Amino acid sequence: MQKIHAGVGLSYASDSFQAGKNAVTDALERINGQIPQILIVFGAMRFDHRELLRGIQSVTGDIPLVGGTTAGEISTQGFSTDSVVVMAVASGQLRCIAGIGHNMSRNVYACTKEMINDILSRDTFDPDASLLLFPNGMGGDGTQILAGIHDLLGEHFEVAGGYLGDDERFSMTFQYYNGSVYKDAIVGLMICKQDGIQTGTGVKSGFESIGNSFTCTASEGNVVKEFDHVRALDLYKDFLGETRSERLPGICLEYPFGIIEPSLSAKGNHMFQLRCGLAVNHETGTISLAASIPEGSAVTLTTASRGEIIKGALDAATQAKACLSGADPRFIIMFSCVGRKLVLGRRIQEEISAVKQCFGDDIPIIGFYTYGEIGPINKMKAELATAKFHNETVVLWVIGEEQA
């Protein structure tokens, strides 16, 4: 008998209360009346978010709820905008513990520790659990989130997540936690599993180095100041050329930086973490990123075609499925970068279709387009199992049941 049940609902209703009510009702119908342990909710910016959650809770009461706003919603039905998607998860084999940290933009590290301690105050620590993260997408350096997690939970604790969005306004995102809406928080969900339940992650981008490399010689937080002792923006413009440079900062999403991992790169095959520019300052020549590039880092410029991005999603799904070691997948949470969405354009549905191609059309999926992604490069290899912060990447988290 199946032990984990997940249902996904979707609504485009114009009224926020009704949209929440419709989406959660649809999700609950797909788990055949079982009472869920957790609700995961992602919504477009257009909603009155308090009314949206009130509509959901009019059906579910005080069942725990996590999520937030997006740069595009993902569900079993595919990609959508101006919608709300809800996943209801029911299982006696899982414990789902939610927590929250506040004032992220003031101190990312302290906010992360507050969220983790909030979770740990509610349940015994389980080193084999998974932590799903939904941070304020405009809240600061993503590497500081990971610093807090690694200090409290250990470097190899399984983590996956995505920076919440605001429909590409890049101004303010909202976080959902139970019945309330927050502006500058990190919401976390710890999922503890019993024997016979497996989890997996898949992390791929499809972006490749265009061959050049240089060194970050000055940076402060998530602002890079110099590459090779030249103003960072000036060097970037030289690589882009005059025509492409006219499209700054939007062009940053098409040509992200890759931080080269020397210990993991060999024979010219660079392994790197992607960093997207979010803003540029023409007066100071600096570039603001979603996460830091440390001074001394070797960096390369990268790009990808639409076909390569879609293949990246398929490769991530293949990796995540391999982690399950033959267990039957029960649901997938998908975090994909808004930069991938912008490059894919009209082919955006193909990215989600690639994931479904690997796992099957009937496996419930929920997710969103993000302002940054979190996950291990490859949890099946010890040297790649530590979670990293990414841009232009798809991160999948999947849970499955071992066959009886």
Are the C-beta atoms of 31 and 88 separated by less than 8 Å?
yes
Give pLDDT, residue 212.
81
Are the C-beta atoms of 251 and 238 separated by less than 8 Å?
no
264 Rama class: left (phi>0) / alpha (psi -120 to 50) / beta? alpha
Q: Per residue in 298-332, pLDDT tens? A: 999 999 999 999 999 999 999 999 999 999 999 99
Are the C-beta atoms of 37 and 64 separated by less than 8 Å?
yes
Q: Per residue in 68-110, pLDDT tens? A: 999 999 999 999 999 999 999 999 999 999 999 999 999 999 9
Which among 391, 387, 393 has a CA at the least distance from the CA of 313?
393
Q: Is the pLDDT of residue 361 over 70?
A: yes
Q: Per residue in 379-403, pLDDT tens? A: 999 888 999 999 999 999 999 999 8
Q: Lowest-pLDDT range, 36-40, 335-339, 382-386? A: 382-386
Give pLDDT, residue 270.
62
Give pLDDT, residue 174.
98
Q: Lowest-pLDDT range, 112-121, 164-173, 205-214, 239-248? A: 205-214
Q: Cα angle at 115 between 98 and 204, to 5 degrees?
A: 80
Percent of the chain having pLDDT more than 70?
A: 98
- CA dist 207 and 215 (Å) reads 19
Are the C-beta atoms of 176 and 68 separated by less than 8 Å?
yes
Mean pLDDT calculated for residue range 9-25: 98
- CA dist 371 and 271 (Å) reads 21
Which among 295, 274, 293, 270 has a CA at the least distance from the CA of 211?
270
Taking CA atoms, 26 is separated from 8, 88, 255, 275, in Å, by 7, 10, 40, 37
Q: Cα angle at 194 between 191 and 197, to 5 degrees?
A: 85
Q: Cα angle at 215 between 212 and 219, to 5 degrees?
A: 135
Token pair for residue 192? 């503890």
Q: Does domain 208-303 have CATH number 2.40.30?
A: yes
Look at residue 282 and give its three-state secondary structure.
coil
Residues 6+ apart with CB under 8 A from 244: 251, 255
Q: Where are the beta strands (DSSP E) in 244-289?
A: 257-260, 272-275, 277-281, 286-289
Q: Per residue in 153-212, pLDDT tens? A: 999 999 999 999 999 998 999 999 999 999 999 999 999 999 999 999 999 999 998 878
Q: Lowest-pLDDT range, 211-215, 229-233, 262-266? A: 262-266
Mean pLDDT calculated for residue range 260-286: 79
Residues 6+ apart with CB under 8 A from 218: 224, 225, 226, 229, 232, 295
Report pTM: 0.94
- How does the average pLDDT of the chain come out, rounded? 94
Mean pLDDT calculated for residue range 43-54: 98
- CA dist 135 and 248 (Å) reads 26
Q: Is the pLDDT of residue 267 over 60?
A: no
Peptide bond before residue 376 is cis, with ω within 30 degrees of 0: no
Give pLDDT, residue 216.
97
Are the C-beta atoms of 25 and 59 separated by less than 8 Å?
yes
The H or E element spanning position 276 is: none
All CATH 2.40.30 domain ranges of the chain, comma separated, are 208-303
Q: Kindly tell me the burial class for residue 213, based on how many C-beta atoms sit within 10 Å of its own C-beta (0-12, 13-18, 19 or more).
A: middle
Give pLDDT, residue 263.
64
> Parallel, antiparallel, or unpaired: how do β-strands 365-370 and 328-337 relate?
parallel
Say which DSSP state 76 is in.
T
Which among 70, 147, 69 has a CA at the least distance from the CA of 108?
147
Percent of the chain having pLDDT more than 90?
A: 88
Our measurement of the distance from residue 380's CA atom to the centroid of its chain's CA atoms, rounded to an integer in Å, reads: 20
Look at residue 144 and give its three-state secondary structure.
helix
